Amino acid sequence: MKKFSNVKGLFVLLFALILLLAACGSTDESGSNSDAENNETEETSDENAEQSESETTGEAGEKLVIGFSQVGAESEWRTANTKSIQNAIKDAGHELKFSDAQQKQENQIKAIRSFITQKVDAIVFSPVVETGFETVLQEAKDAGIPVFLADRAVDVEDDSLWVTFLGSDFVEEGRKAGRWLVEEMSDQEGPVNIVELQGTVGSAPAIDRKEGFEEIISGKDKFEIIKSQTGDFTRAKGKEVMEAFLKSEGENIDVLYSHNDDMAIGAIQAIEEYGLKPGEDIKIIGVDAVKGAFEAMAAGKMNVTIECNPLFGPQLVDLIERHFEGEELDKRIAVEESMYTMDQAEELLPTREY
Ligand code: AHR
What kind of architecture, by CATH, is found in domain 170-308? 3-Layer(aba) Sandwich (3.40)
**Is residue 287 in contact with ligand 1, taking CB distance under 6 Å?**
yes
- Position 44 scores a pLDDT of 41
Is 227 within 8 Å of 198 (Cβ atoms)? no
**Is residue 260 in contact with ligand 1, taking CB distance under 6 Å?**
yes
Mutation to probe ligand 1, out of 70, 74, 77, 126 (largest number of atoms < 8 A from CB): 77
Query: Could you tell me the distance, in angstroms and rounded to a whole number, from the CA of residue 139 to the centre of ligand 1?
Result: 27
Return the amino acid letter for 67: G
**Is residue 239 in contact with ligand 1, taking CB distance under 6 Å?**
no
Dist CA 112 CA 98 (whole Å) = 10
Same fold, 65-167+311-334 and 170-308: yes
- Position 61 scores a pLDDT of 76
- Position 33 scores a pLDDT of 33
| Atom 4 of ligand 1: nearest residue by CA position | 78
Ligand 1: nearest atom to the Cα of 204: 1
Dist CA 68 CA 85 (whole Å) = 9
Which residues of the chain are modeled with pLDDT < 50? 1-5, 20-38, 44-57
Dist CA 278 CA 284 (whole Å) = 7
- Position 121 scores a pLDDT of 98
**Is residue 173 in contact with ligand 1, taking CB distance under 6 Å?**
no
Over the stretch 172-193, which tens digit does the pLDDT of each residue have? 999 999 999 999 999 999 899 9
**Is residue 75 in contact with ligand 1, taking CB distance under 6 Å?**
yes
Pairing of strands 339-341, 304-307: antiparallel
Torsion of CA 262, 265, 266, 270, to 10 degrees: 160
Dist CA 158 CA 82 (whole Å) = 27
CATH value of 65-167+311-334 in 3.40.50.2300, 3.40.50.620, 3.40.50.11890, 3.10.350.10: 3.40.50.2300
Domain boundaries defined on the chain:
65-167+311-334, 170-308
- Position 34 scores a pLDDT of 34
Dist CA 81 CA 89 (whole Å) = 12
Mutation to probe ligand 1, out of 233, 257, 305, 307 (largest number of atoms < 8 A from CB): 233
Mutation to probe ligand 1, out of 151, 173, 209 (largest number of atoms < 8 A from CB): 151
- Position 22 scores a pLDDT of 46
